Structures are given as structure tokens and as C-alpha cells.
């Protein structure tokens, strides 16, 4: 079965001096080169929603799914123009309770407060043909919550964003990549059609659409790593 890479980005920006976890940052220039590589290799860059027919095996084509976690303003400023230039779509997974704020969940650990999109900026992203996905209300550790609290975070983030944008959301991202049977079932109960984790690997037709694996695109990687991630078994692990 053909492998479908689902790329995971966070910040499209030059990493600030002395910031921890520099791998979360991909520079705008490198991002543009990576999108050029996809186009040169014959890939269509798609949002998770646009990729669903391929992931379900209903359509065949050379695609790469492009995702961004957390909803940073630099996604709008630096990634969106490149995506539009290439005719690509992408998904941004947004923390609904932090719009217009910053990364409260890891700012102390990273040593930097990173601005998140405002409601108006998120609408710009959506109006440009990009997908908005849910990433809980507060970027929480879902397995640490009670079932009721976890459901509120999952279903509540979907409802929050649908109310703000006036459109249905179908995609979810597990914060920190943490999920189990309970979290997966709550995502299904909340009527999401697809969800991504941080489990390493390329997606394949027949995978559980609510626990899809992804490929981390790190700013600390050398340029040759992305081709290995896309075209070889570099990212693949034995399937469960």
C-alpha cells in the first residue's frame, strides 16, 4: 500500500537565541525549500480534510499532508504565502482557549512566549482555504484528566472553534501526542473524522483514521533528512 506522509510542523520562524527545543522552529526559507521539494517530487500538499479520500482509499495520488500544531501567528505570516504560491492546503490545529495569547503550556520550559493567532487571524487562515483543526481548549495532558474533563476539552474545543468560524470542524490533534482507548473514543464521540498523534511513521490506507501517525519536520534536521522521511522506510516502525 502506498505510504502517505503527514508532516508535523510547529513554528515557521527563525529560532530565538538561547531558546530550548530549537527543533520546533523551521525557518521560513527552509520551509519554502521543503514545499518546493514536495512540488518538484510531484506531491500535492493537502490539509488533513482534503486528504481524507486518499487516506480512505477512495482516491489515488501522490500527496503529502501538511499540519501545524498549536496555531502560532508565524504560520499565518510565513507559511501561508508559501502554501498559496504552491497551490497547497494545510491544517492548523488550534488551542481554542488560547487564541490571541501565547504558549502558556510550555513557555516556561522553552524559555519563550510565542504569539498565537487571534480570532481575526484564524479567520484569515480559514478564508484562504486552509483547514482549522481542534487541539483541545488548553493544551492539556488528556490521560491525566477525568473522563468528563477530557470530553470537555475535546468536544468543547470543537464547539468553540465552530462557533467562532461558522463552519464544521472534522480534524483533531492529541496534545503531546498522548492518547489511549478512552481518548480515541471521546474523539469519535465528538464526531471528528480524523485525528493525528505524534506516533512516528507514514500513514497507510487502512490505518485507524483517529490515531494517524506523523513525521516530525525539525529545524535541527540536516537537509537530507526530509527526503529520507518521505521516500524511504526511515520513519517507519513495525505496524501494531
Whole-angstrom distance, CA of residue 77 vs CA of residue 94: 16
Judging by beta carbons within 10 Å of its beta carbon (0-12, 13-18, 19+), is residue 140 exposed, middle or buried? buried
Q: What is the 3-state secondary structure (H, E, C) of the chain?
A: CCEECEEEECEECCCCCCCCCHHHEECHHHHHHHHHHHHHCCCEEECHHHHHHHHCCCCCCCEEEEEEEECEHHHHHHHHHHHHHHCCCCEEEECHHHCCCECCCCHHHHCCCCEECCHHHHHHHHHCCCEEEECCCCCCCHHHCCHHHHHHHHHHHHHHHHHHHCCCCCEEECHHHCCCHHHHHHHHHCCCCEEEEEEECCEECCCCCCCEEEEECCCCCCCCHHHHHHHCHHHCCCCC
How large is the average pLDDT for residues 46-61?
97
Residues above pLDDT 70, as percent of the chain: 98
Position 237 scores a pLDDT of: 66
Report the chain's mean pLDDT, rounded to a whole number.
95
- Over its C-alpha atoms, the chain yields an Rg (Å, rounded) of 17
Position 240 scores a pLDDT of: 47
How large is the average pLDDT for residues 74-94?
98
Residue 39 has φ and ψ, to the nearest 5°, of: -65, -45
Sorted by sequence, the CB contacts under 8 Å of residue 176 that are 6+ apart come out as 141, 198
Whole-angstrom distance, CA of residue 104 vs CA of residue 106: 6
Position 40 scores a pLDDT of: 96
CB 78 within 8 A of CB 201: no
Is the pTM above the cut of 0.85?
yes
How large is the average pLDDT for residues 68-94?
98
CB 131 within 8 A of CB 40: no
Which of 214, 211, 118, 130 lies closest to 169 in space, CA to CA?
130
How large is the average pLDDT for residues 101-116?
95
Q: Per residue in 163-208, pLDDT tens? A: 999 999 999 999 999 999 999 999 999 999 999 999 999 999 999 9
The Cβ of residue 201 has, within 10 Å, a number of other Cβ atoms equal to 20
Position 1 scores a pLDDT of: 64
Which of 61, 69, 53, 43 lies closest to 217 in space, CA to CA?
69
How large is the average pLDDT for residues 53-72?
97
How large is the average pLDDT for residues 101-110?
94
Position 238 scores a pLDDT of: 57
Q: What is the CATH number assigned to the segment(s) 3-235?
A: 3.20.20.370
Q: Per residue in 129-174, pLDDT tens? A: 999 999 999 999 999 999 999 999 999 999 999 999 999 999 999 9
The Cβ of residue 95 has, within 10 Å, a number of other Cβ atoms equal to 27
Amino acid at each position: 500500500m502506498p505510504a502517505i506522509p503527514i508532516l508535523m510542523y510547529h513554528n515557521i520562524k527563525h529560532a530565538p537565541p538561547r531558546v530550548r527545543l530549537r527543533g520546533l522552529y523551521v525557518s521560513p526559507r527552509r520551509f519554502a525549500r521543503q514545499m518546493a521539494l514536495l512540488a518538484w517530487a510531484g506531491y500535492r500538499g493537502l490539509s488533513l480534510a482534503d486528504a481524507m479520500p486518499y487516506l480512505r482509499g477512495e482516491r489515488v495520488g501522490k500527496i503529502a499532508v501538511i499540519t501545524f500544531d498549536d496555531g502560532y501567528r508565524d504560520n499565518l505570516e510565513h507559511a501561508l504565502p508559501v502554501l498559496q504560491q504552491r497551490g497547497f492546503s494545510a491544517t492548523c490545529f488550534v488551542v481554542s482557549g488560547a487564541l490571541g495569547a501565547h504558549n502558556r503550556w510550555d513557555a516556561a520550559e522553552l524559555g519563550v512566549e510565542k504569539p498565537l493567532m487571534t480570532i481575526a487571524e484564524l479567520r484569515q487562515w480559514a478564508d484562504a482555504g486552509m483547514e482549522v483543526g481542534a487541539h483541545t481548549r488548553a493544551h492539556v495532558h488528556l490521560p491525566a484528566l477525568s473522563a468528563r474533563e477530557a470530553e470537555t476539552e475535546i468536544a468543547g474545543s470543537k464547539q468553540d472553534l465552530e462557533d467562532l468560524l461558522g463552519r464544521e470542524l472534522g480534524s483533531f490533534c492529541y496534545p503531546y501526542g498522548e492518547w489511549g482507548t478512552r481518548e480515541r473514543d471521546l474523539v469519535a464521540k465528538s464526531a471528528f473524522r480524523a485525528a493525528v498523534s505524534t506516533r512516528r511513521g507514514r500513514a497507510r490506507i487502512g490505518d485507524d483514521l483517529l490515531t494517524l501517525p506523523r513525521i516530525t519536520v525539525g529545524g535541527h534536521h540536516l537537509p537530507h533528512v526530509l527526503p529520507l522521511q518521505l521516500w524511504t522506510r526511515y520513519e517507519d516502525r513495525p505496524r501494531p
